[in-house]
Amino acid sequence: MGAPIKDIVQLQAVPHQPHIVVGCSSSGALAVWDTWTRQLLAGLQPPGPEAVAAVAPVDLVAEHARRRAHQRQQAAAAAAAEEDRRQQAAAAEEERRQAEEQGVQVG
């Protein structure tokens, strides 16, 4: 596997594994080397301009994320309200049962 980088503009060691180095070129190519074995572990070439068919605007992505977060909050609130209703119904049933037992014992 040949090195995908023709001009190295930055090298960075991987935290907690300093023998693994990531490099990048001015064109955006990336490579991962193991300096102990002197082997290229992985390489990634950036796609050509024709590879990008469409780009979503950042605002559109952010709006989608906001809507998803709002939907999750609404679902969590609905689940909490349902749990409260169940607990209230269980408490009311327990009170009714206790009242019946007391009525049977007294009568």
Instruction: Write the DSSP assignment of 38-75 as a string of letters.
Output: TEEEEEEPPPPGGG------HHHHHHHHHHHHHHHHHH
* Residue pLDDT, tens place only, 13-45: 888 888 999 888 887 788 889 999 999 888 888
pTM here is 0.40
> So what's the pLDDT on residue 46?
75
pLDDT at 35: 92
pLDDT above 70 covers what percent of the chain? 78
- Count of domains observed in the chain: 2
| Residue 4 pLDDT exceeds 60 | no
Greater confidence (3 vs 13) lies with 13
Residue 36 belongs to what domain range? 8-46
Residues 42 and 12 in one domain: yes
Q: Say whether both 66 and 87 belong to one domain.
A: yes
